[in-house]
């Protein structure tokens, strides 16, 4: 019973803050425009500041763990490859791209910080988990959504019907034109270099490595801003819940929900335990594997020529159900004495 209470104390405040965001939107105190701006503030300012604060005030050599970062990267890469294989029966190619992204791409940064703060009082190992997973999230999303977009499929069909010497290489498979490959590479690099969360982590690691002091007045300001990250981010996430948008592609959306909340967690969490990850490290991995599909996946799908219905459904359903599945995974880890 104590383990269940511990798990509920870890997950229910987070879920209730998302419910508050949904309620405030329903009664008209928040609208889509305000929620979008609040979400932008959290991801561009508050969350990077929070991650900077937690790293800058720690000893770099006591925090840095290359084995942990490598595990987060490997688990993310294997997750992407697995859901890509499982997506092959989906005949609608653009929907296949959305399915892959929705199945692996977590709200790891925001919810990782929220859950670990709720349990341990700081963001803990969230920054290292983000270093291992988030750049790969972005790279894979850009590549997958570009290659499966409606425009890309039209180009493939056009190239397939063009003269062989112009569009088909010796191997017999069509490829994207050079301009599209260059654009894809530039877009991927730009998305990584300008990611505010990764910038906050990089500056925090640099600050910690050089052992720079954080004077009292700037420290207070940083503390005030970082304190807004979790509550505002969760409220903004809650405003995105719109049951009317859970329409087409329901079957594929539910399959993506299974992978996102249960399948990948069941596959990689035991491996993390076997490798000796405990406490904050294990909670960060748990959230990385089993947190809801990020709202960014829907935004990116729409911007890159996809319908967005499958992504929207996955975001809504995982956001709601994750309160129960994450409670279960935390309860399981707690019962096993891992956290």
- Is residue 36 a part of any domain in this protein? no
pLDDT tens-digit readout, 2-20: 888 888 888 888 888 888 9
Higher pLDDT, 195 or 278: 278
Confidence label for 153 from pLDDT (cuts 50, 70 and 90): low
Is the pLDDT score of 225 beyond 80? yes
- Is residue 193 a part of any domain in this protein? yes
pLDDT tens-digit readout, 54-107: 788 878 888 789 999 999 999 999 999 999 999 999 989 999 999 999 999 998
Is the pLDDT score of 162 beyond 60? no
Higher pLDDT, 222 or 7: 222
Domain of residue 287: give its range: 54-158+175-210+251-335
Residues in the chain: 339
- Is residue 122 a part of any domain in this protein? yes
Element containing residue 7 per DSSP (H, E)? helix 2-26
pLDDT tens-digit readout, 298-327: 777 877 778 877 887 888 889 889 889 999
pTM above 0.85, yes or no: no
| DSSP assignments along 57-100, one per residue | TS-HHHH--HHHHHHHHHHHHHHHHHHHHHTTT---HHHHHHHH
- Which region, left, alpha or beta, applies to residue 176 given φ > 0 means left and ψ of -120 to 50 means alpha? beta
What is the number of domains present in the chain?
1
Average pLDDT over residues 225-244: 81
Q: What radius of gyration do the chain's Cα atoms show?
A: 21
Out of 99-103, 228-232, 257-261, least confident range:
228-232
Average pLDDT over residues 202-216: 89
Higher pLDDT, 47 or 282: 282
pLDDT at 308: 79
- Is residue 186 a part of any domain in this protein? yes
Average pLDDT over residues 211-238: 88
pLDDT at 174: 41
Is the pLDDT score of 159 beyond 90? no
Residues β-bridged to residue 293: 106
> Torsion angle of alpha carbons 202, 208, 212, 214, nearest 10°?
80
- Is residue 2 a part of any domain in this protein? no
- Is residue 5 a part of any domain in this protein? no
- Is residue 183 a part of any domain in this protein? yes
- Is residue 128 a part of any domain in this protein? yes
Is the pLDDT score of 172 beyond 50? no
Is the pLDDT score of 285 beyond 90? yes
Q: Of 338, 327, 255, nearest to 86 (Cα)?
A: 255
């Amino acid at each position: 019973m104590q383990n269940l209470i511990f798990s509920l104390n870890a997950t229910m405040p987070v879920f209730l803050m998302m419910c508050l965001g949904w309620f405030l939107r329903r009664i008209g105190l928040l609208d889509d425009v305000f929620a979008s701006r609040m979400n932008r503030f959290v991801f561009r300012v508050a969350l990077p500041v929070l991650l900077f604060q937690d790293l800058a005030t720690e000893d770099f050599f006591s925090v840095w763990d290359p084995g942990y970062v490598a595990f987060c990267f490997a688990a993310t890469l294997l997750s992407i490859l697995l859901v890509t294989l499982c997506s092959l029966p989906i005949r609608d190619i653009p929907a296949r791209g959305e399915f892959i992204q929705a199945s692996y791409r977590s709200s790891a940064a925001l919810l990782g910080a929220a859950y670990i703060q709720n349990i341990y009082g700081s963001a803990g190992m969230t920054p290292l988990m983000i270093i291992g997973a988030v750049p790969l999230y972005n790279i894979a999303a850009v590549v997958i959504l570009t290659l499966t977009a409606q425009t890309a499929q039209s180009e493939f069909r056009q190239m397939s019907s063009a003269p062989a010497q112009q569009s088909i290489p010796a191997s017999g498979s069509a490829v994207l034109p050079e301009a599209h490959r260059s654009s894809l590479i530039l877009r991927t690099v730009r998305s990584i270099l300008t990611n505010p969360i990764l910038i906050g982590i990089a500056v925090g690691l640099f600050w910690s490595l050089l052992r720079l002091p954080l004077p009292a007045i700037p420290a207070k300001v940083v503390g005030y801003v970082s304190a807004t990250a979790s509550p505002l981010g969760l409220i903004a996430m809650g405003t995105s819940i719109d049951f009317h948008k859970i329409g087409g592609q329901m079957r594929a959306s539910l399959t993506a929900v299974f992978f996102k909340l249960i399948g990948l967690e069941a596959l990689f969490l035991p491996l993390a335990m076997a490798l000796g990850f405990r406490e904050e490290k294990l909670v960060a991995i748990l959230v990385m594997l089993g947190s809801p599909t990020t709202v960014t996946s829907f935004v990116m799908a729409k911007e890159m020529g996809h319908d967005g219905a499958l992504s929207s459904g996955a975001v809504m359903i995982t956001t709601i159900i994750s309160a129960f599945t994450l409670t279960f995974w935390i309860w399981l880890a707690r019962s096993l004495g891992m956290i």
